[in-house]
Amino acid sequence: MTKAVTRLFQQFQPENYALSLVPDREGMKFSGQVSITGKKVGRPSERITLHQKGLKVISASIVRHDKKGDQSYPVARINNQDSFDEVRLHADAQLYPGNYTVTLEFEGTITTPMHGIYPCEFKHEGKKKQLIATQFESHHAREAFPCIDEPEAKATFDLTLTTPAGETVIANTPVLEQRTNGELCITSFETTPRMSTYLLAFVYGELGYLEATTKDGVLVRTYATPDNVKMTQHSLDVAVKSLEFFGDYFTTPYPLPKLDMIALPDFSSGAMENWGLVTYREVAMLLDETSGSIESKQYIATVVAHELSHQWFGNLVTMKWWDDLWLNESFANMMEYRAVDAIYPEWHIWEQFVSTEGASAKRRDSLADVQPIHCKVSHPDQISSLFDPSIVYAKGGTVLYMLMHFIGEAAFRAGLQNYFTKHQYGNTQAEDLWAALSKASDHDVSAFMANWINNPGYPMISVDWQPGTSEVRLSQQRFYSDPAVAESTQEPWQVPLAATNTLDMQLLTSSGAVATLQSPDSALLLNHNGQSYSLPRYVNSDHRAHITTAIQAGKVGTIDRLLLLDGYTLLQRGGFSGTVDLLELVQAYKSETSENVWGAIAGAIAESRRLIEGDEDSEAKLNAIVAKLVEPLALELGWDDAPDDDASKLHLRGLIISMAAGAKMPAILEEGAKRFAVFKQPSDLGASTRSIVYFIAARYGSQADFDKLLQLHNSSSSAEDRDEYAGALTSVKESDRYHTILKMLTGTEIRRQDLMHWYVWLLRNRYARADAWTWLKDHWSWIEVEYASDKSYSYFARYGGSIFSHREELDKFSEFFEPKKSIVALTRDITLAQQEITSRVAWRERNEAAVKAWLK
């Protein structure tokens, strides 16, 4: 068990940091001075303790301020406690509670890992260039300056940076003063609002920008390296509209005079919500308007909206401690879709929310030892494991979506408005939010949400109904993907039934109940439009047939159609149905036209393919079924995008042609190869099918085709293009080619931020999987050096768990990772990966023979 760290905010509470930093890019180091004004609280002692990591404190002084004047206390000893990330300043006398200024001079290192103060590499006009950037979330501000590095320790910041003259320098707030001193430029910034240390940020280097102004007068700028500035127009447009939307929705104005966003060449996360200076990976902010795909356009929109929602959820109001990280991320997850739906209603983005966020959450949340949304944190090393995207982001967002529908959006919105008014610039816990929503809705939101937030898992609702009758028997139990797990004894959830037909019961609060159906001749579905975080199981065969008939008759809505497929996929994993049942359900979707439902169909087929990998006869028969299913749409949609194609059609074209290529349809493979042979640049190919052309060339093409893709990747300056090339290159069959890729993983061709994508794609490639696993074991020491302090560290264990499905793979995984469970950042993901592989092995043993027999 990890020992809990001391909460330093309970000893010293900063009010202002006057921080001056002088980075030295060539020497990969920096020097600085910070004067921290604040209050010493608690008992008298002879020391003040601050956070620091990797810093050398050269000098320190302590001054007390009271009515009698200022009193200095010489610092007798500066004691670095590296194991606690602390520096302890020992005075030569008792320090009583009161107001103090603590001043320290220090030196530090510009780090290679992408946190603290770190470099970003890029090329401009053929020359290597370097930006200097920061990433302080979750607890990396202490690597840049001594501080109280806890979210509750909010303070204002007066930042001064000394940087090379002629370079652009930006931070959270506008420039207050700038003066040149020879080859150096000294820039002071306006005082920030009260905020947590993890939100402080700055970047400097050769940059350009586009700008626009919101209707409220907020200046918005989008920065990038010189060659990429023009590709920030889309993110600029989304940023302006998102700020305006959130300001109106929360009736709380954005509190800063400016918002900067910057696309960084090297960035570990997808993006970071630093107040007034939001940082992004290039792929999350840059769009080539001439060749960018609809997927990229929508991804950028959701990421930008997510980060800007944080300007309220997380920045203006912040969790007290990392236990309530979900207050930041779950709300941002849901609100990004709410904003994008308002900006681009034609995208039908809520369908994607349900099909991606809800499905991701339920897969992860079906494991026995998964974390709850609200998770106890006793040590900073545990924080990285809290950023589980399927739980803190996806499940949290889905549960809040359920809550919004349960109490009504008007009450939900009114509650949020009251919440921001009452707690702005402060810190909160979950109960503060529940109180605001309860007051606005006349519901006991705390009681309703308790089980959803504080306990793992979700309920499977068994529905026993005979069509034509009015009695509906309901029961709930926690759903597990492994039937061998003992049934949970936790309290029942309060489950909104969200029925498509009128029931005399809206909320299931007990383990079982009987409800009455008002219209017994209509199809009965629960979790209508994804408004309940639950998994319906329709136990009566006549009921299931009734649903299938309704689908074929076009009487089931889009979201409900995709939820049925996702639900069957989960149920056959948990042993409540078979994979054959899932394949038979797919046959009811022959007339489907929704791109998001086709995404669920593709997922169901991919699930089935896992069971027959390597069985050529079974694979050929499944390919024939898929080809028959997609051929009409493939012929109708074709390969080329038209100027008037809407987002739905663009998505659908890419998905259908991809499924056709996966089914090895000869005409599709031939056309893809032909297009690859003549293309010279990405804009020569349709954006929706371009990645499929690359895949066909990599999987079925020649060595020359492989070399061409590799050269294109290595020479491209577009993040989106590089990702598409990478997806193709990692799909090769020939061992010499994927060994070339494996050698690149530790080289300079692949940025450290992108390596995880390459590794996961190689694991998913059945031909390269075994060698990719060997690469991981052989290079674990290198991985520890490069990633041990990064929150993606645990993903090396996690993604093995999401892919392996054979008993021998489970044994090899456990043999390697079991000894590493003592590493705090890895413990949870190793355990969950073992559980996931175990459940998948059992699933394979239950279903493999039946699927092969069905295909015959």
Q: How far is CA 304 from CA 192, 197, 299, 535, 637, in A?
A: 22, 22, 9, 31, 31
Considering only CA atoms, which of 108, 36, 47 is closest in space to residue 74?
A: 47
Contact between residue 114 and residue 266 where contact means Cβ atoms under 8 Å apart: yes
Our answer to whether residue 307 is catalytic in this structure is yes
Give me 7's structure tokens. 């909460």
Q: What are φ and ψ of residue 695, in 5° steps?
A: -60, -45
> What one-letter code names the amino acid at 615?
D
Q: What are φ and ψ of residue 568, in 5° steps?
A: -60, -35
Task: Name residue 38's beta-bridge partners.
Answer: 14, 100
> What one-letter code names the amino acid at 249?
Y
Angle at 779 between CA 775 and CA 781, to 5 degrees: 160
Q: What are φ and ψ of residue 343, in 5° steps?
A: -80, -40
Integer Cα distance of 752 and 12 in angstroms: 37
The residue to which tokens 């006991």 are assigned: 444
Task: Name residue 89's beta-bridge partners.
Answer: 48, 78
190, 307, 329, 336: which one is catalytic? 307
> What one-letter code names the amino acid at 354?
V
Instruction: Annotate 583-635 with DSSP letters as a single string.
Output: HHHHGGGTT---HHHHHHHHHHHHHHHHTTTT-HHHHHHHHHHHHHHHHHHHH
* Other Cβ atoms closer than 10 A to 59: 11
Q: What are φ and ψ of residue 818, in 5° steps?
A: -55, -45
Integer Cα distance of 335 and 400 in angstroms: 10
| Structural element, H or E, at residue 459 | strand 459-464
* 3-class DSSP state of 107: strand
Give me 288's structure tokens. 């080539």
Give me 574's structure tokens. 């948990």
Residues involved in catalysis? 307
